[in-house]
Chain A
Amino acid sequence: MPVVNWLKRHLVVIAGLVTLAYLLLPNVIVTVFSFNKPKGRFNYQWQQFSTDAWKDPCGVADMCGSLSISLQIAFWATIGATLLGTMIAFALVRYRFRARGTVNSLIFLPMAMPEVVMAASLLTLFLNLGAQLGFWTILIAHIMFCLSFVVVAVKARVMSMDPRLEQAAQDLYAGPAQTFLRVTLPIAAPGIAAGALLSFALSFDDFIITNFNAGSTVTFPMFVWGSAQRGTPVQINVIGTAMFLVAVLLVLTSMVISNRRNRQKA
């Protein structure tokens, strides 16, 4: 039975593609419905094709404002978390010190903690301190939960780095600062970049912790959440689709460029 044999041999591939379809289906729906012209307030049912929302992406009150707040917070959270996380990662890989275990669990716990728990406890702190909830409390929270992910990403990279490279730099007359700038940092850069990218994505997309600590500030995910109650404008789908496309295009072009560069050199 050739058909059965073929199926048997490609079972993994078929199952994998089914999962991939499951993962991508909502994005297809989001894209398709960005061209919808819904009748009521909710954009859940297909009515008719329209490019209205694409022509006027900021046509919904407050949406683009919330988008800009989210982008700003993601930007600063990325910088803060990457800086602090990279420093911790270097300390963990490169130095021996006391209380290593405690440090490790302090890094690990935020990743092993449900977001609601962190969100709620952070809110109790802010309430107790009488802090004004808003941009700054969101930023503080985002740096806190992105930090551990940066540490993990950078640590992996620094750990796989040959310590002889730094020794070679020192042997070639580079002092500690020069060694760090000229050798360690460039080689760790992909790990740091991965951590930064992850931070940006986590921060930009965070809803649970933000929702607790935002006060009256509205980020983009909070706007979407609110609209799920009040009515979903098509523009939400436009933003979602655009961001998906931008991300895919960016990654694909960078892949094509690096492919071409490798081919030229080889």
Chain B
Amino acid sequence: MTTDNSGDVRLSGISKTYGSFTAVHPLELTVPQGSFFALLGASGCGKTTTLRMIAGLEEPSSGTVHLGDQEVTHLPPYKRPVNTVFQSYALFPHLDIFENVAFGLRRRGIKSVKKQVEDMLELVQLGEQARKKPHQLSGGQQQRVAVARALINTPKVLLLDEPLGALDLKLRRQMQLELKRIQTEVGITFIHVTHDQEEAMTMADTVAVMNAGRVEQLGSPTDLYENPNTTFVANFLGTSNLIEAEVDSKSGDDIVLRAGGGKLVLPESRCGAPTTTGGKVLVGVRPEKISLTHADDAGEIAENRNRITGKIADSSFIGVSTQYVIDSPVCPEFEVYAQNIDRDARLVPGAEVVLHWNPAHTFGLDAAQDIDAGVAEVEEEAA
């Protein structure tokens, strides 16, 4: 390898237990230099603990932490080339913005900090606010100070602990793009902890979904969304319609399944579970992949598509799309998001409909799991 790997973060067998409670199960994880990595999960899943072990604020119960080739497992935080953007920022209330940003430089004994601090404040567009106290700034400005305060030290790795949690939705969107821009500009490794799946997917190039102290799945946002490995990932990352089905037969690269009265086709390559004829499999499909056709027009649907019949239970118009809840014999609350292009006026609650989609969009999961895993977590975070 000729590339610089000094910004790699390597966790080997790292775990954290508090008494009898295991916050993080032994974890193997490598974050390559220069990547934007997100740890995604509900509160209490161990993502923040993992981050704090990298920062040195928490000592792992087992395992090691490497930055590049250097082992830092037992180094105190002030000796690690790692900086953190804290949840709710932790700006020093008694220091002004300039001194907050200069803090790290001064502690390392750098005397002439003026130029560097001013440049950094320019980067985050806060040049005018240098002499204000943190409480005089808005949430978004405080957030940028926190980023500037960490970045000015040119750390090998920047850790972000729910950095946008305290901002309102609009500002959060804006800051997501801003952070992404800064990361591309400075090119250092970012490790970002969040419970917001949209945030993780917008910003990160690799996402690790954590649940109950374990990484459930690791991959690019598209990969995680299209090919979830577990029901937790399927439900936590976006919405999934999961149907319990029975393996009927195999034809070519496809598995034919029986659910309710009908047949569904699932590409074998998209099934993460072992399949034996007669065995059970959970079939999943994302709501936006599904088309809705009124039962009267059922004959117009192409033959090769997966189809399910049902009745519209509820519909809500949300601008770009309309979200339907369909009552179907195979799944009591089937969700369908239809783009508002040509709206069929007959699709109102009570109407009999056929749901159909391209079999290529179907994924299969092990039926031994809890079908609702991850649903409660999403609701909890939304509350």
Chain A interface residues (CB < 8 Å from chain B): 162, 164-165, 167-175, 178-179, 182-183, 186-187, 189, 265-266
Cβ B103 vs Cβ A169 within 8 A: yes
Indicate whether B61 reaches chain A with its CB closer than 8 angstroms: no
Cβ B77 vs Cβ A167 within 8 A: yes
The complex places the Cα of A95 from the Cα of B90 at a distance, in Å, of 21
Cβ B107 vs Cβ A167 within 8 A: no
Could you say which residues of chain B place their CB within 8 Å of the CB of A164? 86-88, 90
The complex places the Cα of A169 from the Cα of B91 at a distance, in Å, of 9
Could you say which residues of chain B place their CB within 8 Å of the CB of A173? 78-79, 104, 107-108, 153
With A173-B78, A173-B104, A174-B78: A168-B133 Cβ-Cβ less than 8 Å: no
The complex places the Cα of A265 from the Cα of B86 at a distance, in Å, of 26
Cβ A265 vs Cβ B132 within 8 A: yes
Query: How many residue pairs bridge A and B at CB < 8 Å?
Result: 71
How many positions in chain B have a CB within 8 Å of any CB in the partner chain? 28
Partner of A266, one of B79, B87, B94, B136: B136
Cβ B78 vs Cβ A175 within 8 A: yes
Cβ B136 vs Cβ A168 within 8 A: no
Cβ A171 vs Cβ B87 within 8 A: no
Indicate whether B149 reaches chain A with its CB closer than 8 angstroms: yes
Indicate whether B93 reaches chain A with its CB closer than 8 angstroms: yes
Indicate whether B57 reaches chain A with its CB closer than 8 angstroms: yes
Q: Which of B76, B77, B86 has the most CB of A within 10 A?
A: B77
Residues 55-88 of chain B, each 1 if its beta carbon lies under 8 Å from chain A, else 0: 1110000000000000000001111001110111
Could you say which residues of chain B place their CB within 8 Å of the CB of A266? 136
With A173-B104, A265-B133: A168-B86 Cβ-Cβ less than 8 Å: yes
Can you add 5 more A-B contacts, CB < 8 Å, to A162-B90, A172-B150, A265-B133? A167-B86, A167-B90, A170-B57, A172-B153, A265-B132
Q: Which partner residue on chain A sits nearest B159 by CB separation?
A: A171
Could you say which residues of chain B place their CB within 8 Å of the CB of A169? 92, 103
Could you say which residues of chain A place their CB within 8 Å of the CB of B107? 172-174, 178, 182
Could you say which residues of chain B place their CB within 8 Å of the CB of A186? 94
Could you say which residues of chain B place their CB within 8 Å of the CB of A179? 78
Q: Which of B90, B91, B132 has the most CB of A within 10 A?
A: B90
The complex places the Cα of A172 from the Cα of B78 at a distance, in Å, of 6
Q: How far is the CB of B89 from chain A (nearest CB, A)?
A: 8
